Structure 1
Amino acid sequence: MLLFLPPMADQDKIILPEKYYLDNFKYVLQFVLDKYKPLLSDTELLFIHDFMALSEDSQCLYVRISNRKGQFFRKEKLNYPEIKDIGIAHLDLLDRRFIVKKTALEIDECFQLINSYNKPEIVQRIKPLDLSIDKRLKKDELILTLLEIVDGNQLYDTFYTDDIIAQGGQVELDMIKLFFFGHNHGDMSDFVVRDIGHVKFLTVDETQLGSSFDSREEAEAIMHLSQLHKEYYLLEEALTPLAIYEWFAQIEIKYFLALDKARPQTEKLIHKVGYHLEKHKHYDEALTLYHLTTASPMRERRIRIYNKQKAFDLSLNTAQEILNHPNDNKEYYIAQDVINKLDKKLKTTTIRQKEGLMILVDYSYVQQVEQGVLAYFESQGYSGYHSENTICRNIFGLFFWEEIFDPQYNSLHQPLQRSPSDIYGKDFYTKRKEAIEAKLSSTKSKAQLRAILNRSIQTHDGVANPFVYWNEDMIAGMWQFLAFAQLKQIKALLATIAIDPKNRSTGFPDLFVWKDKDYAFYEVKSPNDHLSEKQLFWLEHFDAWGIKAEIALVEWTGKE
């Protein structure tokens, strides 16, 4: 979700307490201890106990280090005025193993170690090694090259000086954060974003919060997959595609696929590795991976490979399988196009785009195509907004606010969530189907619908919602569209998004324009732009419901 934050005036700036970060860190530890103690390991429990026993200065230094990016830091670069004596705090942390001296490094740790230096420092340190290496490489590329051509022990001796601080307890802390946030990209900066008022989070009763994980096994699987993703990032640059395929073959991938909460990350890894193999024309190996799951976009990738191999029967069979049970809009239309191609028909998106309205736009708008088309309509007496997804998403997020955030669905786990954990999952609709249908059924008039939307705006104004864009113009655009739309059209729109919010909350037309009693949505296409499957999905549904929507085909004028 994109957040557009207005600049704060000087008088509105909020000054946080000096050691706010320590308070937030302790809150996380206590929250996890209270909620997940049975799932915590002995070392994680010991970490919490030992941290609480540290002096306040030592606690502050550890939290400062843990909030920085990476695992290795230069002692000379640490300077925090609120810590009275960093030297004493450092020795205390070293004595209690919150700072450690590593004796051996994994490949990703070695990357982090070298990355703690700037590029000129790296170049200076490797001079004695007398390497044939291009010093003009970007920093990341230089480090990856060093990892590939220099022995690990030699890199350790070259870069691991007495000035290096390595964070201890990172494994334990990463797991504690995973339990708190419910995912492995949680960031303590969310507390700051909340406290300085940049984002308003939903007020929740912590006693009603669900659990991120029901078992230790789920959490460990997520953590292990996170490490595999990081490892792949490094191996992608260092190994041949077939060597990466061999690395992947050692992973117990079916085990991870069998765990519901681990499956999405597992499928992402399968796609990453499979696509890497496909790009390098190792088609059979890529197909082996794509056959591990029917999740999108695996079947789409299989079709593309089959077509390259001229295995058209397999391509057609896969397309038919998708049509019978599509994962999303894009997959459905791609499958339809496979069948159309065999019947020598145009792509479905191409057919619809050819029906678009040609509009002359001055070339000065080449970097702002949608604004150029909007200017054209305004010259014809229309009013309008560059609304894209905001109008329809706002209606959905505001109408179903209670259903989205209802704690009974065990999808709210901690007080800094911007959206429920299942918002883009397959079971979002399954769990809420009865409530969604009941609300739609009980909404008998547009006046009642407007009242529901207004109540959400007044009650939750500014609160983070994955669908709501708190912008006055976009809220006004929503009301303008509702003035034209029929109740049955809006209810059909809401019901359709609800079935699959992940794939059906985007792809809406770029512009909404109106004049007197006339209105229309317009999907803008410049000469080299093509209609996507998501966009076609909504154009076809708008057609079926009688919501006016067209394609605006731009033709440039005044081009030199």
Structure 2
Amino acid sequence: MNSNQAVAAPLEDPLYYLANFEHVLAWVAERHGDLLSDVEHAFLALFAGLPLGSRALLVRMVMRKGEHFRPSRLVYPEIDAEIGNTESALAPLVAAGLVEEAPVLDVATLFTQLRLTELRQALAAEIAEAGLPATVGKGALREALLARGLMPRPLSAWWPEAPERVVRVCIMASCDRLRLMFFGNLRQDWSEFVLAELGHQRFEAVAFGADSRAFHRRDEVDAYLALHDLRRRLEGGEAPVDLAEALPARPDNPWLASRHARLCLALGRRAERDGMAELASTLYRRAGWPAPEASGEGRIRYLRLAERQGRWRQALILAEPLARVTRDDVEAQVLGRLLTRLRRRLSLVPETSAPEPAPERFTLHLPGPSRVEQTVREHLHREAAPVHYVENTLLTGLFGLLCWEALFTPLPGAFFHPFQSGPADLYRDDFVTRRRDHFKACLARLDDGRYRRTILATWRDKQGIANPFVHWEALDEALLTQALACIPPAHLRICFDHLLSNLRANRAGLPDLIQLFLEASPGEPRYRLIEVKGPGDRLQDNQRRWMTLFHRHEIPAAVCHLEWVRER
């Protein structure tokens, strides 16, 4: 497989999944060998020496959900053709210690492996002791036995007459670690190869250097796994107070520190919902300070909680310097409102600031109710002035197409496997500064007239390749051609600069519709952006930021308020 391209084994190969798995092992051994333990190196060597059918069966199990399996549910024609049957494929795995042939099973696992009729046979004594009817349903039986705290035991102890055994894969944790080192996250899994082979996902080919990897020290992998486990336990319903005690110190790696801050924030939100305000405050503080890897949302939530608790003076002392130094327009917007409330509560003289400009508005009264954007689009649409529903797809798509080279520049820490839809550091504080010259070169095409040709050529050449700003299904060549003919490059430059000032926050909040005036007279606007609001709806913060930008630079944009006229 080409190292810089997302190439998967052909699905016509019955053992395609094994080829993909072995590609990952080879990739990790080559690029992350120094981060592997002796045990993990031993596993790679042991796996390579197994019979083909046993390797295939192990990979089948690794790629399925859970660690426990009944051999009767592990029947695969290609494995039977290679080695005879499932039991023959299992034997070398058991001998090598990769599969446990008689693991202890707790009640929850037992219920995942046995059908209801089998459970009633296996647990007849426990059902009787619990005073449950013999016809008890599976859900009620499970809850009743879980409440009894029965000790785990092998299936043969639960059910001596069991018709078959349950086995357990012992190397799931190691395989998750290897998958993490390949993808740089645990969000992606083995299905990425299949989706790529089917053509459902296509990725830009990016050159990988020696430093093109997510982790540079083993303790960074350990930190990621520890944070991931705490997040999993939180989502599983464990108490935030227990998880907070297990929370490790913030890693010194910036992107892991960012993950640590997000976990603190999630724990804080759960603690606040559960009424544990002091714990929530502590967690928000850990999430929000110190900068730059800290969470701006953590700071805001800490300050809002302090306000609700009546700690107004403390909140003001923290919020005032933040408002002076923040470069995040989202944080600045929220801090401005917070400071106004705090000064009012403390009977302080409010600071004067320029009022937010009111956007242009107009109101339509149309029959309904129906989908508001579609109703307005159909009402305003004319052959010479077509209206398109674009929301967060057109301007961001034009940006993604124009700045393709900058987005996919193979800088260290940006790309480290062939299945990335965008750079891993996309939302980090230094993303733009690290690529300043690349973005400058791309945006220069707006000044010298090359932007139209570049955008359309990229749209044709890169069709369907994943880009975090390009939604292919929303962009056709006719729309792009018309939009590029009607929107002045100076307006595109203003919008793209605003995007680059905060990619995470500003990629959303753009107006719903664009109307293109194809026959406008010279000097007249050739387009307008329209944000549609139904009855009782109002502009969100990100929409207000965009509208303020449009007003400041005289970009034609308006808010359409739709009122329904009920037909009689």
The TM tier, using the shorter chain, reads 0.7 to 0.9
**Alpha-carbon distance in 2 for matches of 1:521, 1:549:** 4
Higher-helix-fraction structure: 1
Q: Which residue of 1 aligns with 2:266?
A: 272
Give deviations 1:418-438, integer Å, cap 9, x for gaps. 111111222211211232234
AA in 2 matched with 1:521: L
Greater Rg by CA: 2
AA in 2 matched with 1:360: H
Shift of 1:380: 10
Number of matched pairs: 529
Q: Which residue of 2 aligns with 1:412?
A: 415
1:150 aligns with 2:160: no
Instruction: State how 1:98-497 maps to structure 2 within 5 Å.
Output: 98-101=98-101, 114-116=111-113, 129-130=126-127, 150-153=149-152, 163-206=165-208, 210-236=212-238, 241=239, 244-252=240-248, 254=249, 256-294=250-288, 295-326=295-326, 328-341=328-341, 356-365=361-370, 368-378=371-381, 382-441=385-444, 443-445=446-448, 447-471=449-473, 473-497=475-499
Give deviations 1:175-215, integer Å, cap 9, x for gaps. 11111101122211111111111122212345577111111
Q: Secondary structure at the match of 1:221?
A: helix
Give deviations 1:144-173, integer Å, cap 9, x for gaps. 896566345389876997532322211211
Shift of 1:114: 4.2
TM-score by length of 2: 0.83
The answer (yes or no) to whether the contact 1:383–1:514 under 8 Å persists in 2 is yes
The answer (yes or no) to whether the contact 2:359–2:548 under 8 Å persists in 1 is no
Quickly say closer, same or farther: Cα 1:532–1:472, change in 2 above 3 A.
Answer: closer
Q: Which residue of 2 aligns with 1:4?
A: none
**Alpha-carbon distance in 2 for matches of 1:305, 1:123:** 51
The answer (yes or no) to whether the contact 2:360–2:559 under 8 Å persists in 1 is yes
**Alpha-carbon distance in 2 for matches of 1:259, 1:179:** 15
**Alpha-carbon distance in 1 for matches of 2:318, 2:472:** 42
Q: Which residue of 2 aligns with 1:11?
A: none
TM-score by length of 1: 0.84
Q: Which residue of 2 aligns with 1:30?
A: 26
Quickly say closer, same or farther: Cα 1:514–1:410, change in 2 above 3 A.
Answer: same
Quickly say closer, same or farther: Cα 1:120–1:552, change in 2 above 3 A.
Answer: farther
**Alpha-carbon distance in 2 for matches of 1:356, 1:31:** 57
Identity %: 25
**Alpha-carbon distance in 1 for matches of 2:500, 2:136:** 51
Q: Which residue of 2 aligns with 1:6?
A: none
The answer (yes or no) to whether the contact 1:409–1:431 under 8 Å persists in 2 is no
The answer (yes or no) to whether the contact 1:359–1:552 under 8 Å persists in 2 is yes
Question: What CA RMSD, in Å, does the superposition of the two structures yield over aligned residues?
Answer: 3.5
Q: Which residue of 1 aligns with 2:53?
A: 57
Give deviations 1:475-496, integer Å, cap 9, x for gaps. 5434333322222221122222
AA in 2 matched with 1:78: L
Shift of 1:102: 7.0
**Alpha-carbon distance in 1 for matches of 2:499, 2:109:** 42
The answer (yes or no) to whether the contact 1:72–1:113 under 8 Å persists in 2 is no
Shift of 1:327: 6.6
1:91 aligns with 2:100: no
Quickly say closer, same or farther: Cα 1:326–1:117, change in 2 above 3 A.
Answer: farther
Shift of 1:362: 2.8
**Alpha-carbon distance in 1 for matches of 2:364, 2:120:** 55
**Alpha-carbon distance in 1 for matches of 2:452, 2:131:** 69
Structure 2 unaligned spans of 5+: 1-9, 289-294, 345-349, 521-525
Give deviations 1:198-248, integer Å, cap 9, x for gaps. 122212345577111111111111111111112222343xxxx5xx31441
| Bigger mean CA offset, 76-85 vs 320-329 | 320-329
Q: Secondary structure at the match of 2:527?
A: strand
Shift of 1:329: 4.0
Quickly say closer, same or farther: Cα 1:147–1:534, change in 2 above 3 A.
Answer: farther
Shift of 1:31: 0.8
Give deviations 1:72-129, integer Å, cap 9, x for gaps. 2333222211111112112222221221257567xxx975664456789779877754
**Alpha-carbon distance in 2 for matches of 1:357, 1:119:** 63
**Alpha-carbon distance in 2 for matches of 1:338, 1:68:** 49
Shift of 1:458: 3.3
Q: Which residue of 2 aligns with 1:3?
A: none
